[in-house]
Amino acid sequence: MEMVLDKIDNAINLINENTDLFYQNKVNEGYALLNNTLLELSITIQYIYDSVNSTLIEENLNTLNNNLKEAMLALENKDAILLSDILAYEIKHELEIIKHEI
Amino acid sequence: MSFYDINIESLAGRNEMALILREKGYSLCNKLSKIESIEARDHNKAIILNYNDNEYRLNSVYRPIEEAKRWADQFDFNNINVVFNLFGLGNGFFAEALLNNMNEEDSLVIYEPCTEIFLHVLEHYDISKLLSDERVYLYIEGMNEDKMYRELSSLISIANLGLQTQCVHPNYNLIFEHSHLNFYKILKDAFSSVRININTEVILSKEILKNITNNIQYLQDSSSISDLKKVIDTEKVPAIMVAAGPSVEENIEELKKAKNKAVIFAVDRILDYLLDHDVIPDFVLTIDPRKKIEHFSRRSNISIPLITYLDANHLIYKNHSGKKIICTYENFVKEMYEELGKEPPIVSATGSVAVTAFNACVCLGFKQIILVGQDLAYGTDKTHAGNLSDAPMEIKDEYVMGVKGEMVRSRYDWKEFILIFNHLIAENKDVEVIDAKSNGAKLEGTILMPLSEAVNNYSHGRFDINDVCNKLDKTFNQEDYMKLKEFFEDNLLVLEKIKKKAKEASIACSQLIRHVNESIGSKKNKLNLNKLEKANKYIYKQTIYSILDHAVLARTTTQMQDMNKFSKDVENDSIKTYENAKDIYNAIINVIDDFYPEFKKAVEAL
């Protein structure tokens, strides 16, 4: 379980770092880090699925997946601020809830 | 009260923007098809706009205030007296985020490229706190952006030249690309201009003090440009400003014919060329503290009225037998006139006598100024009219836009003067500037016109310099002159006191360095800090210090540049601050030691 918590913390840190870059208008650096952030998020979600009793956090995981889809849409539209908002206030929020539930 | 009324009220008294808004004296950018503010998730507002058929959001739709705060976190707020230059006002959230972190001594220059956004924000947001903040300088394109260059230049000094911080409101650089470039151009021009002025003042600091010392004797019989303004009619005839570019040669016959139909100002070294060709200007200008006398004139009997600064070369003053008409750009001489109840004759200084001559013509009230010989580019085989030339110097070539639409070869320093001219002409919209040359660098905002046509069009009367000189009074009568002498004698005492305070402050700095490990609140440190505060309060309040400043700066450029820079290492910052301060106080003492004896002799001889 500690591994899951570490993974979540790592994902949150990456979200903080990535969104800082976008909010500070450092768009190129933000996009350069984004691959890593999104990859880590995917791995973390998969890890949660595999390691945790998903009935406990099923709704949160569904919300997380929907948020990721919204984030991808923002990315497609090159809306770095909306992408950051979704990462910072939706995805990170859900991860913190999941962490608390675990 | 509506948001608009609250905001307009906060603008009143700060600048002319309230007036421009009331009289609708602005132009729109006309590319916005939609602008609206929507409610974000945190119940603050976010701006959405449609520009050139693309939709943009200027704020987060989740938490715009939090977004602005995180954006501002990237900037360094440890230093003081910093000028933050922000491209884009938006709804003011990003500007507020900067202001919340800035120190009291910092400034925030905001450039908003779209009038419609500004008008929308005035209607839908309460930005009165931002508008009334003394640290804020706001420029709206289409409204008052022509003021930014000069006002920004006045915020920058040697102490904060390296501390300029450029910020861009998110998305503004994408939406307003052209204006973004313009914004950076104004910043670059202002920095260059300040840097040139600082360098000039540093190089000339010794000569400035020597010249002031030697020239105060001529004040008794002098007039000022304020006196001249009262007696010169600038409505019926234009000014012709003759500089030393090669195109003067093609205009020399027309200049002869223009005598008495215009007021002819000879800029410095062109004087001899004009006199050699029987063109007698009405005024001649010189400002350079180090101008060689042979570069002013080889003649020893020049009596043409001389418009000049008090710190111009004293040998030229000595050699000139005519009326001296004083103007000033600095505080000490300004105070001298004010103390005697006279209107201070302010004419802004730049590194160029031609630009100063332009400023003088504007100050006198001319509404048409004809430029002759303002080539600011190489002619086919020469840089100046006749046999004139500059001393050989390593100045980089630059290419600039020419009057015929082609790129022409110029010089780095001439390019800077072109930029200064362009800004001045834009700032003085009520003055028509005619450029009477067929080749050379293009000056924005000028009307290209041959000299003969310009004189025919704009001259509606007759000008006689003798009439003007007969009416032109001396500034100081006998009673004034006695008060003038008292003014200088009082300032001798001030110099003695400045030196005493600087000595005390230098000792205090040494003690603060020695006891840096003790708490700042310790009795010893408190006492010494108090001494520094008192010394600074006294020294920098004295206007005579303004003429010493250049010389102090010449000796302590590195220390001045570091004065406002801080890191998070408090102890090292403290030691560095006190060491720099001590060097500056010692420089003040040395400068006074050099200046005082000769200045005292000159005052006693008045």
Closest CA to B267 of B143, B391, B352, B146: B352
Rounded to the nearest angstrom, the minimum Cα separation between B148 and chain A is 25
B596 with B494: CB under 8 angstroms?
no
Q: Which amino acid is at B535?
A: A
- B67 contacts on A by Cβ (under 8 Å): 23, 81, 84-85
Interface test with B, best of A19, A85, A90 (most B CBs within 10 A): A85
Secondary structure element (H or E) that encloses residue A17, with its range: helix A2-23
Reduce the DSSP state of residue B573 to 3 states and report it. Answer: helix
Enumerate residue ranges in chain A where pLDDT < 70. 54
The neighbouring-strand residues paired with B111 are B87, B139
Reduce the DSSP state of residue B56 to 3 states and report it. Answer: strand
B323 with B469: CB under 8 angstroms?
yes
pLDDT digits (tens, 9 = 90+) for B558-598: 888 888 888 888 888 888 889 999 999 999 999 999 999 99
Longest Cα–Cα distance in chain B: 80
* CB nearest B170 (choices: A81, A88, A89): A81
B516 with B529: CB under 8 angstroms?
no
ipTM of the complex: 0.89
Give the pLDDT confidence score for residue B390 in this predicted structure.
58
CB contact under 8 A, B170 and A25: yes
B60 with B42: CB under 8 angstroms?
no
Enumerate residue ranges in chain B where pLDDT < 70. 13-15, 380-383, 387-396, 520
A41 with A91: CB under 8 angstroms?
yes
Give the pLDDT confidence score for residue B349 in this predicted structure.
83
Give the pLDDT confidence score for residue B21 in this predicted structure.
83
CB contact under 8 A, A24 and B74: yes
Give the pLDDT confidence score for residue B388 in this predicted structure.
66
B216 with B606: CB under 8 angstroms?
yes
Nearest CA in chain B to A86: B62
* Token pair listed for B458: 């704009």
Closest CA to B366 of B235, B261, B226: B235
CB contact under 8 A, A85 and B168: no
Angle at alpha carbon of residue B40, lines to B38 and B41, rounded to 5°? 145
The 10 Å CB-count burial string (b at 16+, else e) for B440-467 is bbbbebbeebebeebbeebbeeebebee
pLDDT digits (tens, 9 = 90+) for B529-545: 999 999 999 998 999 99
* Token pair listed for B398: 């630059």
Q: Identify the burial level of B479 via C-beta atoms within 10 angstroms of its C-beta, where 0-12 means exposed, 13-18 middle and 19 or more buried.
A: exposed
Rounded to the nearest angstrom, the minimum Cα separation between A85 and chain B is 6
Closest CA to B81 of B149, B183, B158, B188: B158
